């Protein structure tokens, strides 16, 4: 598989996952760019005998996100999380309601521990199967199921409460 095919197949899923993990569109774009630069530079090193292409790409993704967090010494506030400027003539009630629901979901997901957030992001952000998630997280498939079940239960309680 050449780089263009890999890029086309993975760009949306990688960006969506990174955006979930870092919560900032601009940083997510930068990190996604770095990920695909590493994929491009290391494409010859990929060996399908060692694991699937999904596992290889998302291992690079996970490592790049870890590097991002290690490099950050001061926590910054993302203007994206503050809100966007809206035209008050375009149904402000609906915009406020959507922002509230989005904020409530983000707060609920943020209350999960890192392991739970990662599993949820892999499953629902990337659409990976439990066995693929297990490979990426170095846990068993059944453990992935347990983590996802408990995470969904927590989210349901937080969102309904």
Domain spanning 95-160 has what CATH number? 1.10.10.10
Every domain range in the chain assigned CATH 1.10.10.10: 95-160
- Phi, psi of 45, rounded to the nearest 5 degrees: -80, -15
Domain spanning 1-91 has what CATH number? 1.10.1740.10
Q: What pLDDT score does 103 carry?
A: 72
Q: Would you write out the chain's pLDDT as a tens digit for each of its 161 residues?
A: 789 999 999 999 999 889 888 888 899 999 999 999 999 999 998 888 888 898 899 899 999 998 998 887 645 445 454 444 444 445 555 554 555 566 777 788 888 898 998 898 888 888 888 998 998 899 998 999 999 999 999 988 888 87
Every domain range in the chain assigned CATH 1.10.1740.10: 1-91
Could you tell me where the DSSP H helices lie in the chain? 3-22, 25-42, 53-71, 79-82, 92-110, 114-120, 130-137, 141-160
CA 47 to chain centre: 25
> What would the DSSP string read from start to end of 22-36?
H--HHHHHHHHHHHH
Q: What pLDDT score does 91 carry?
A: 54
């Amino acid at each position: 598989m050449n780089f263009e095919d890999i890029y086309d197949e993975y760009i949306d899923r990688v960006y969506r996952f990174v955006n979930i993990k870092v919560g900032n569109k601009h940083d997510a774009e930068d990190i996604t760019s770095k990920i695909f630069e590493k994929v491009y530079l290391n494409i010859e090193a990929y060996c399908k005998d060692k694991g699937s292409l999904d596992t290889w790409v998302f291992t690079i993704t996970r490592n790049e996100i870890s590097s991002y967090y290690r490099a950050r010494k001061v926590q910054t506030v993302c203007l994206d999380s503050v809100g966007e400027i809206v035209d008050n003539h375009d149904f402000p009630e609906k915009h406020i309601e959507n922002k509230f629901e989005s904020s409530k979901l983000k707060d609920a997901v943020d209350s999960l521990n890192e392991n739970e957030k990662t599993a949820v992001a892999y499953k629902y952000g990337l659409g990976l199967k439990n066995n693929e998630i297990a490979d990426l997280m170095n846990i068993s498939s059944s453990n992935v199921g347990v983590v996802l079940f408990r995470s969904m239960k927590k989210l349901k309680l937080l969102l309904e409460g």
